[in-house]
A and B are shown apart, each in its own frame.
Chain A
Amino acid sequence: MHPATPPTHGTMAVPVHRTPVPRRRLLRRLLAAAVAVPLLLGGAVACGGDDEAGSDGKVELSIFWWGGEARAQLTEQALALYTEKNPNVTFKKTWQANQGYFDKLATLTAGGNPPDIFQIDDNFLTEYAARNTTLDLTEYKDNGKLDVSKFPESLWQYGVVDGKLAGLAAGENTQGLVYNKTLLTKNGLPEPTTGMSWEEHIAWAEQVAKKTKVPGTMDASAVDKAFWVWLRQQGKDLYKGNDLGFTVEDVTKWFELWKGARDRGATPTPDVIHEGNATDITKQLVVTGKAGTSWVWVNQMPELKKNTKDELGVVAYPGDPGAQWARAAMYWSVFRGSKHKDAAVDVLNFLSNDPEAVKLLGTDRGLPSNLELRDQVSQSVTDPAMKQSIEVETKLAETFGAAPQVPIKGHSKVRAELTKAAEEAQYGRLTPAQAAEQFYAACKSAIA
Chain B
Amino acid sequence: MALTTAPGPTRRDTGSVRPPAKRGAGRNRHGEGLAGYLFLSPWLLGLMAVTAIPMLLSLYLSFTNYDILTPLSEVEWVGLANYERMFTSDPSYWHAVQVTLKFALIAVPLKLAAALGVALLLNRAWRGVGLFRSLFYLPSLLGGSVALAIVWVSMFNRDGAFNSLLSLFGIEGKPWVNDPDWALQTLMVLAIWQFGAPMVIFLAGLKQVPTELYEAASVDGASKVSQFWNVTLPMLSPVIFFNLVLETINGFQGFTAAFVLSNGTGGPVDSTLMYTLNLYISGFTNLEMGYASAMAWVFLLAIAVITAIFFSTGRFWVHYSDGEDR
B277-323 at interface with A (beta carbon < 8 Å): 281, 284-287, 289
Q: How far is the CA of A26 from the CA of B268 in the complex (A)?
A: 54
Whole-angstrom distance between the Cβ of B24 and the nearest chain A Cβ = 11
Chain B residues lying within 8 Å of A416, measured Cβ to Cβ, are 265, 281, 285
Q: In the bound complex, do residue B70 and residue A131 qualify as a contact, i.e. CB atoms below 8 Å apart?
A: yes
Q: Does A271 contact B (CB under 8 A)?
A: yes
Q: With A34-B45, A131-B69 given, is the CB distance from A10 to B21 under 8 Å?
A: yes
Binds B, one of A73-81, A101-109, A229-237, A400-408: A101-109
Q: In the bound complex, do residue A19 and residue B33 qualify as a contact, i.e. CB atoms below 8 Å apart?
A: yes
Chain B residues lying within 8 Å of A102, measured Cβ to Cβ, are 284-285
Q: With A35-B53, A127-B69, A427-B269 given, is the CB distance from A3 to B286 under 8 Å?
A: no
Chain B residues lying within 8 Å of A103, measured Cβ to Cβ, are 284-285
Q: Does B124 contact A (CB under 8 A)?
A: no
Residue in contact with B67 in the complex, picked from A131, A271, A420, CB distance below 8 Å: A131
Q: In the bound complex, do residue B269 and residue A420 qualify as a contact, i.e. CB atoms below 8 Å apart?
A: yes
Q: How far is the CA of A269 from the CA of B174 in the complex (A)?
A: 12
B223-280 at interface with A (beta carbon < 8 Å): 263-265, 267-270
Chain A residues lying within 8 Å of B287, measured Cβ to Cβ, are 106, 127
Q: How far is the CA of A200 from the CA of B315 in the complex (A)?
A: 71
| Chain A interface category by residue count | 35 or more
Binds A, one of B76-84, B175-183, B200-208: B175-183
Q: What DSSP secondary structure best describes chain A's contact surface?
A: helix
Whole-angstrom distance between the Cβ of B85 and the nearest chain A Cβ = 9
Q: In the bound complex, do residue A14 and residue B178 qualify as a contact, i.e. CB atoms below 8 Å apart?
A: no
Chain A residues lying within 8 Å of B8, measured Cβ to Cβ, are 3
Q: How far is the CA of A103 from the CA of B264 in the complex (A)?
A: 11
Q: In the complex, how many residue pairs between chain A and chain B have their CB atoms under 8 Å apart?
A: 121
Chain A residues lying within 8 Å of B326, measured Cβ to Cβ, are none
Whole-angstrom distance between the Cβ of B74 and the nearest chain A Cβ = 9
Q: With A14-B21, A14-B25, A106-B287 given, is the CB distance from A420 to B70 under 8 Å?
A: no
Whole-angstrom distance between the Cβ of A260 and the nearest chain B Cβ = 21
Q: In the bound complex, do residue A11 and residue B267 qualify as a contact, i.e. CB atoms below 8 Å apart?
A: no
Q: What DSSP secondary structure best describes chain B's contact surface?
A: loop
Residue in contact with B29 in the complex, picked from A14, A128, A424, CB distance below 8 Å: A14
Chain A residues lying within 8 Å of B9, measured Cβ to Cβ, are 3
Q: Does A143 contact B (CB under 8 A)?
A: no
Chain B residues lying within 8 Å of A37, measured Cβ to Cβ, are 49
Q: Does A23 contact B (CB under 8 A)?
A: yes
Q: How far is the CA of A269 from the CA of B287 in the complex (A)?
A: 33
Q: Does B48 contact A (CB under 8 A)?
A: yes
Chain A residues lying within 8 Å of B18, measured Cβ to Cβ, are 7, 10, 13
Q: In the bound complex, do residue B179 and residue A30 qualify as a contact, i.e. CB atoms below 8 Å apart?
A: no
Q: Across the interface, name the chain A residue whose C-beta is closest to B44.
A: A30
Q: In the bound complex, do residue B11 and residue A11 qualify as a contact, i.e. CB atoms below 8 Å apart?
A: no
Q: How far is the CA of A109 from the CA of B287 in the complex (A)?
A: 12
Q: In the bound complex, do residue A271 and residue B175 qualify as a contact, i.e. CB atoms below 8 Å apart?
A: yes
Q: How far is the CA of A274 from the CA of B270 in the complex (A)?
A: 12
Q: Does B216 contact A (CB under 8 A)?
A: no
Chain B residues lying within 8 Å of A110, measured Cβ to Cβ, are 68-69, 289
Q: In the bound complex, do residue B89 and residue A445 qualify as a contact, i.e. CB atoms below 8 Å apart?
A: yes
Q: Across the interface, name the chain A residue whose C-beta is closest to B286.
A: A413
Whole-angstrom distance between the Cβ of A283 and the nearest chain B Cβ = 9
Chain B residues lying within 8 Å of A278, measured Cβ to Cβ, are 263
Chain A residues lying within 8 Å of B286, measured Cβ to Cβ, are 410, 412-413, 446
Q: Does B165 contact A (CB under 8 A)?
A: no
B1-37 at interface with A (beta carbon < 8 Å): 8-11, 13-15, 18-19, 21, 25-26, 29-30, 32-34, 37
Q: In the bound complex, do residue A412 and residue B285 qualify as a contact, i.e. CB atoms below 8 Å apart?
A: yes
Q: Does B133 contact A (CB under 8 A)?
A: no
Q: In the bound complex, do residue A19 and residue B267 qualify as a contact, i.e. CB atoms below 8 Å apart?
A: no
Beyond the given pairs A30-B37, A112-B71, A271-B268, 10 more chain A to chain B contacts, judged by CB atoms under 8 angstroms and listed by A's residue number, are A15-B30, A18-B30, A31-B48, A37-B49, A99-B264, A103-B284, A272-B158, A272-B175, A412-B286, A427-B269
The 5 closest A-B pairs by CB, nearest first: A271-B178, A271-B175, A10-B21, A34-B48, A131-B69
